[in-house]
Structure 1
Amino acid sequence: MEGDGRTDKMMENSPSNSEKTISDDDEIDYSIKPEFYDPDLDAKDESWVNEKRKGRTSDAVLSCPACFTTLCLECQRHETYVTQYRAVFVVNCKTESNQVRQSILRPKRGRRGRESNETAAPVGGETFKPVCCSVCSTEVGVIDEDEVYHFYNVLPSES
């Protein structure tokens, strides 16, 4: 049985005919720089960050773990918990003011388990409000009564 003209045409245009398949890379002229390429972009970004920090240093630049949005340019790493940071100035963060968390601090115990006269903090404890990424609403930390942000769910990068 001989093939009809339609079958022969389909065979010529099929991707399995490797002699006629042309890669997209063969059509791209790499001698021309793309219009979105800027060789000075890193220097411009560094200058912008230095202007925002006003000469102060930071332990990291913090980003949202879900959408990679920048949350903080200037922060300090926690002394004990190395994956936690605190900051005063943030960007792209929103505070959930309708939700409040309270830490209950118990009195310090002496060596033998008895209560000492010193307390760890005021009896009422501290009040915290959740802080979320303003882009994707992922919870990234909390803010305390003194308006200090405590980040614990972030991606740090070298600053």
Structure 2
Amino acid sequence: MDSSPNGSEKMISDDDVIDYSVKPEFYDPELDAKDELWVHKKRSGVVSDAVLSCPACFTTLCLESQRHEKIVTQYRAVFVENCKIKNEEVVQVESNKKQLKRKRGKNGFEAVESGKVKPVCCLVCSARVGVIDEDEVYHFFDVIPSEA
């Protein structure tokens, strides 16, 4: 048996073996239309600036969001999915630095200038994606937006 690289064995690529004239068994040509219908039904006709996804695992976090007026990489929303609120941790917003800092209180909450703000994480991978304020409005700043 000849084991040299220049032997008589012919290399066959996967493209030579695959028959592209036959549609794959799991192919559904109507899937995009079905997905679009599902999203429209889920959103009840509400127009959204973006669909938001987790930057770590790409899990959908929000179908209805509104982009921040000045900071185009930030979004806010009321209705979310696949999000987990970290009640034991409080985030303090420092207005002069426009930076978020974590702060733990004995009871898990501390009042901050803009009220109680708690971190929000992805339910699937626990990546931190934003905060929720005392009015139960989610503010997302670490997300991947896509066309709504």
1:10 partnered with 2:10: no
- TM-score, scaled relative to structure 2: 0.82
Structure 2: runs of 5 or more not aligned: 97-111
- TM-score, scaled relative to structure 1: 0.77
User: Is the contact between residue 132 and residue 138 of structure 1 (CA under 8 Å) also seen in structure 2?
Assistant: yes
Structure 1: runs of 5 or more not aligned: 1-8, 107-122
Q: What amino acid maps onto 2:118 in structure 1?
A: K
Q: Are residues 101 and 32 of structure 1, via their aligned partners in 2, closer, same or farther at CA, if it must alter by over 3 Å? A: same
The whole-number CA distance in structure 2 between the counterparts of 1:86 and 1:67 is: 20
Instruction: Please list the CA deviations of residues 119-158 of structure 1 after superposition, one character each: whole Å capped at 9, or x if unmatched.
Output: xxxx853111000011111100000001100000000001
Superposition deviation, residue 84 in structure 1: 0.3
User: Is the contact between residue 104 and residue 125 of structure 1 (CA under 8 Å) also seen in structure 2?
Assistant: no
User: Is the contact between residue 71 and residue 133 of structure 1 (CA under 8 Å) also seen in structure 2?
Assistant: yes
1:32 corresponding residue in structure 2: 22
1:84 partnered with 2:74: yes
The whole-number CA distance in structure 2 between the counterparts of 1:26 and 1:103 is: 59
Aligned residues: 134
Query: Which consecutive aligned stretches of 4+ in structure 1 deviate over 3 angstroms post-superposition?
Result: 14-19, 102-106
**Of 41, 55, 60, the match for 2:45:** 55
Identity, % of aligned pairs? Answer: 69
CA RMSD for the aligned pairs?
2.1
**Greater C-alpha Rg:** 1
